[in-house]
Chains A and B, each alone.
Chain A
Amino acid sequence: MHLLTLVAAESALLPSRIQMAFTLAYHVILVPLGVAFPAYTLLMEGIGIFKKDAAAIRIARRWSVVMAVQFAVGAVTGTILSFEFGILWPKLMGRFGAALGMGFAIEGLAFFLEAIFIGIYLYGWTRLRPRTHFLLGLALPPAGVLGTVSVLATNAFMNTPGGVTLGSSGEVTSVDVLGALFTRALAYEFWHFLIAIYITAGFIVASIYAVAWLRGRRDHYQRLAFAIPFTVAALLTPVELVVGDLSARALVADQPAKFAAMEVTWKTRSHNPEVIGGLLTDSGQVNFGLSIPSFDSILIGLSPDTVAPGLTSVPATARPTIAEANITHLAFDAMVGLGSAGVALALWYFVVLMYRRRLPQSRWFYGAASLAGIGSYAAVEAGWATTEVGRQPWIVYNLMRVSDAVTSAPGAVVWSMLSVLIVVYAAFAVIAVTLLLRLAGRWREDAIDTPGAPEAGVPYGPPSERLAADAPGRVKQGISGTVQVIIAAVLALLGLGIVIALVIALSLVGLGAAARRFIGRFTRSSST
């Protein structure tokens, strides 16, 4: 009997891992649009209101429709993820749910807030005064940040568990709420991911209009819709480089095996080369890579004498396999490469902006910009692969193995569920893309001041506001102006308050820890 359950568990492990990876990778595509895109939309609406620019308002309103479509898909894929924790990894939640679940409980709150405020934002275009509408919209980015920080708190716990006391059989006996939510990895994971999705959202939106530029549509509307998101994303790329560097360095102490896998270092050593590309073999050799002598050691501790951890410093059963190490390494290289390309593109943009005092005119630039969105997405996916595959074989680092958390359902059940999911997710992609293309086609034909609603035909949000155009008196039906402003101000303040508190807390916790670690390493390596 015991052997039988063992075999069953083994066969469910592979499909469960594939299913989790597949559904997460899919959901991550929607995250930048759900979390960061509202901020760009609000920025555009703000410009529209305060500079009295009808085109900007039109852009914001159309973007909000895209936001709604992606939110509907994200709501479904997110629901599936939450169920998968039970269907695929019941033992993980049974043992660590008390700690891991807290982040998700806060995420539940954030998700709820987002759902409601996206609804209010969509309904409000014709039913609220512009300023009130804008102020209420301000609740969206904080809700997104709250959701991000809480999901990452869960992931950070899996990487650097803390804040819990474990009993004799490994069960959680007491939970220090703040300790378990704000584990060491949270600070760097949070900033790294948040900036990444803001860059991705900015670049993916801008890349649509870069393509439009290449096709000859270059009026005020198109330039505005390109320049605003592109500028913000471009400004963030160098910041991401620094934050990413801090994150990678923090891993030396926090998860040496993951760091060793990222750099395909076999034996712990000083003067460790930085290997770009290449594949690790079973014997610890790296084939085909481009090796820069001592550069890894220099990157870690600013000196070639700095000791870099190797994979063999961790027992073979507690570190990634060779294949997993190679995936981690290549994903890491892809992420760093794409990130550096993003910085180069940003540099190009700002040089032209500063010296020519206008947007770039080169087709090459817009060709590159039209790829920036896809590139950012690839970088985000590669980053997730790095952190998840690099943690193997652990689901909670050093405390619980993936194989101990997996469901005891027969593998065939999970395989069949996975195949259905792949088909349905493909259908979702077709629906969303068809819908957006159709909308884009119609929007192209509309003039900026046509009365037609950009929302018409979207199976989400307010049905249609054709009547608003037919009967302009309806607009006045809304809540009285004073009440509107009060509600908006209170909600916006609450939202902003959450974000400010989070930012302060995370900055103190994270940057303090990172700085201490960095100084500590620096003094250590210079004293030896």
Chain B
Amino acid sequence: MTTTFANLTAFVLLLTITAYSVAGGVDYGAGIWDMLAGRSPTAERARQLIDHAMAPVWEANNVWLVLAIVICWAGFPMLFQSVFASLYPLFSVALLALILRGAFFAFRHVQGGPRAQRWMGVVFGISSLLAPFFFAAALGAIASGQVAVGAPHVSVWQACFNPASISFGLVSLAATAFIGASFLVGDARRFGQADMVDYFRRRAVISTAVLIVIGTVALAVIGLENRPLLNAMLTGLGTPFAAAAVILTPVVGFLLWRRVFRWYRTLSVVVVGSLVFAWGFGQSPYLLPGQLTITQSAAPLGTEVLLSIVTLAVVVLILPSLALLVYLDQRGELESPQA
């Protein structure tokens, strides 16, 4: 009984992490492209588009993050303690990046001349890079098996920065740029800006290639440095998801290269989702590989049941309301940013 509910909670936790990776990825990705745009009239147009696309969801993505945190500490208290005791440096940097990003995105709208705006943009861009890197590095550190139950058994430094965590962080950066560009293509199309469609289409194709290269290198590094992790990734429950990511990433790149503006956004969501699922299912039934299983870490039955009820409430209450919000958003947003 407890096992069933604990597995359900673990799955919900994985879903919220996935939702944050996708929603946050689109958002952080836009921030990365904002920073990489450089200084030219075209770059300014790109920035305007990014601003316009991001404004409605500014900081709303944090709800997924908060949801993941609360599910983790209520459902798997010992996992929560262990992860934070070992990986607090990663989370501290990610958190600071997250708030700096929010602050400077807002600041840019409120204050300053062109120069101040530029350096605020730089802070905004750098924090858009740091957050996805460090959040994903935390997942990599967990996968590497360096997080011990309770207090850390290796130095915090070693737990945080090892081949697996850095590989995860880099793959996450590439995937974030990839999904960000893919969605900006969609936004540019929605606002009817043909040059911007092409601008972000090129960047999406390039980031597809980068993602493939970094992904391959990351796999090779993990294979050399952490054989058990590679084996787990290639033979466990996560394998189909890993395969899906490997197959679908080039498909998205191909679609955008050939200007087929169909399915590319859905597929890039599937790619990012598959990457997260490959990690999560890959290490199941372990939450901390080799040390702590889902059942071992599960909170008593009462708490797990309550979490299921909360999940049900999210499905019943949140999804319809979210659908309404998105509907209202898309309804009134047919104007171009220049209008």
Whether A associates with B in a native complex is: yes
Chain B residues with CB below 8 A from A85, complex form: 69, 73
- Contact segment of A33-41, A169-177, A191-199, A368-376: A169-177
- B217: CB under 8 A from chain A? no
| Proximity string of chain B (60-91) to chain A, C-beta cutoff 8 Å, 1 when within and 0 when not | 10110111011101111110111111001101
Selected from A86, A96, A126, the residue in CB contact (under 8 A) with B91 is: A86
B310: shortest Cβ distance to chain A, in Å? 5
Note all chain A residues with C-beta closer than 8 A to B80: 86, 90, 93-94, 97
Give the chain B neighbours of A466 by CB distance below 8 A.
339
Partner of B78, one of A94, A127, A427: A94
- CB pair B55 A459 closer than 8 Å: yes
Interface size on A, residues (CB 8 A): 82
Chain B positions 316 through 339: 1 when the CB is less than 8 Å from some CB of chain A, otherwise 0: 011011101101110111010101
Could you tell me which residues of chain A, from 471 to 503, have a CB within 8 Å of some CB in chain B?
474, 477-479, 487, 491, 494
Chain A 121-135 against B: per-residue CB contact (8 Å), 1 yes, 0 no? 001101110000000
Q: Is B204 an interface residue (CB 8 A)?
A: no
Could you tell me the distance in whole angstroms from the C-beta of A498 to the nearest C-beta in chain B?
A: 9
CB pair B328 A93 closer than 8 Å = no
A95 in contact with B77 (CB, 8 Å): yes
| Cβ contact within 8 Å between B332 and A79 | no
Interface string of B287-308 (1 = CB under 8 A from A): 0000000000001111101110
B52 at the interface (CB under 8 A from A): yes
- Beta-carbon contact of B106 and A431 below 8 Å: yes
> Are the CB atoms of B103 and A79 closer together than 8 Å?
no
- In the assembled complex, the Cα of A413 lies from the Cα of B69 at a distance in Å of 22
Nearest-neighbour CB distance to chain A for B154, whole angstroms, equals 14
Complex CA–CA separation, A116 to B64 (angstroms): 12
Q: How far is the CA of A94 from the CA of B151 in the complex (A)?
A: 11
- In the complex, are the beta carbons of B88 and A424 less than 8 A apart? no
Separation of A417 and B339 alpha carbons in the complex (Å): 43
Tell me whether B55 and A413 are in contact (CB under 8 A): no
* A87-B84, A427-B107 given; A97·B77 CB < 8 A: yes
- Contacts A115-B60, A417-B92, A491-B321 hold; do A123 and B332 have CB atoms under 8 A apart? yes
Taking a contact as CB atoms under 8 Å apart, the answer to whether A98 and B88 are in contact is no
Partner of B74, one of A95, A104, A421, A458: A104
| A-chain residues with CB within 8 Å of residue B66 when the two chains form the complex | 78-79, 82, 108, 111
Q: CB within 8 A of B73: which of A86, A128, A413?
A: A86
A424-B99, A494-B317 known; A105 vs B56 contact (CB < 8 Å): no
Smallest Cβ-Cβ distance to A98: which chain B residue: B299
A105 to chain B, nearest CB (A): 5
B95 & A80 in contact (Cβ 8 Å cutoff): yes
Query: Are B71 and A105 closer than 8 Å at their CB atoms?
Result: yes
Number of interface residues of B (CB under 8 A): 74
* Inter-chain contact A75/B62, CB cutoff 8 Å: yes
**Residue ID in chain A nearest B329 by CB atoms:** A123
A105 to B327, CA, bound (A): 27
- B110 within 8 Å of A by Cβ? yes
Q: Counting CB contacts under 8 A, is B198 at the interface?
A: no
- Roughly how many angstroms separate A100 CA and B65 CA in the complex, as a whole number? 18
Contact with B along A444-479 (1 / 0, CB 8 A): 000000000000011111110111100000100111
A82 to B59, CA, bound (A): 15
Chain B proximity mask over A197-239: 1 for CB below 8 Å, otherwise 0: 0000000000000000000000000000000000000000000
Q: Which residues of B contact A76 (CB under 8 A)?
A: 59, 62, 98-99, 102-103
Residues of A within 8 A of B300 (CB): 98, 172-175
Q: Are A116 and B325 in contact (CB under 8 A)?
A: yes
Say yes or no for A120: interface residue by CB 8 A criterion. Answer: yes
CA distance in complex: A435, B52 (Å): 18
Contacting residues of chain B (94-150) with chain A, CB-CB under 8 angstroms: 95-96, 98-100, 102-103, 105-111, 150
A112 to B70, CA, bound (A): 12
Asked whether A106 and B110 contact (CB < 8 A) given A86-B80, A87-B92, the answer is: no
A175: chain B residues within 8 A (beta carbon): 299-303
Q: Evaluate contact between A479 and B327: CB separation under 8 angstroms.
A: yes
Is A94 touching B77 in the complex (CB atoms < 8 A)? yes
Interface residues in A386-422 by Cβ distance below 8 A to B read 407-409, 413, 417, 420-421
Complex CA gap A112/B64 in Å reads 8
Whether A113 sits at the interface, judged by CB under 8 Å, is yes
CB distance from B208 to the nearest CB of A (A): 29
Given A90-B81, A459-B105, verify A72-B74 contact (CB < 8 Å): no
A contact residues around B320 at 8 Å (CB): 487, 491
Distance in Å: Cβ of A133 to nearest Cβ of chain B = 11
Evaluate contact between A107 and B83: CB separation under 8 angstroms.
Answer: no
Contact (A126, B299) CB under 8 Å given A78-B66, A86-B84, A87-B84: no
Within the complex, which residue of A128, A407, A420, A477 is in contact with B85, where a contact is CB–CB below 8 Å?
Answer: A407
Bound Cα distance A208, B195 (Å): 47
Given the complex, which residues of B lie within 8 Å of A79, measured CB to CB?
A: 62, 65-66, 95, 98-99
What residue of chain A has the Cβ atom nearest to residue B16's Cβ? A108
Q: Is B314 an interface residue (CB 8 A)?
A: yes
Q: With an 8 A cutoff between CB atoms, is A102 at the interface?
A: yes
Determine if B103 and A101 form an interchain contact, defined as CB atoms under 8 angstroms apart: no
Instruction: Please pick, from B63, B88, B95, the residue contacting A409 in the complex, using a CB distance under 8 A.
Output: B88
Query: How far apart are A427's CB and chain B's nearest CB, in angstroms?
Result: 5
Report the bound CA distance from A89 to B55 in whole Å: 34
A127-B328, A428-B103 given; A112·B314 CB < 8 A: yes
20 A-B pairs with CB atoms under 8 Å apart are A85-B73, A86-B80, A87-B84, A87-B95, A97-B76, A101-B303, A109-B318, A116-B318, A123-B328, A123-B332, A126-B332, A175-B300, A177-B302, A177-B303, A461-B55, A462-B329, A463-B52, A465-B332, A466-B339, A467-B339
6 A-B pairs besides A177-B305, A460-B55 with CB distance below 8 A are A72-B58, A82-B69, A87-B84, A94-B77, A408-B85, A462-B329
10 closest residue pairs by CB, A with B: A101-B74, A94-B81, A97-B77, A86-B84, A98-B299, A175-B302, A97-B73, A459-B109, A123-B328, A90-B84
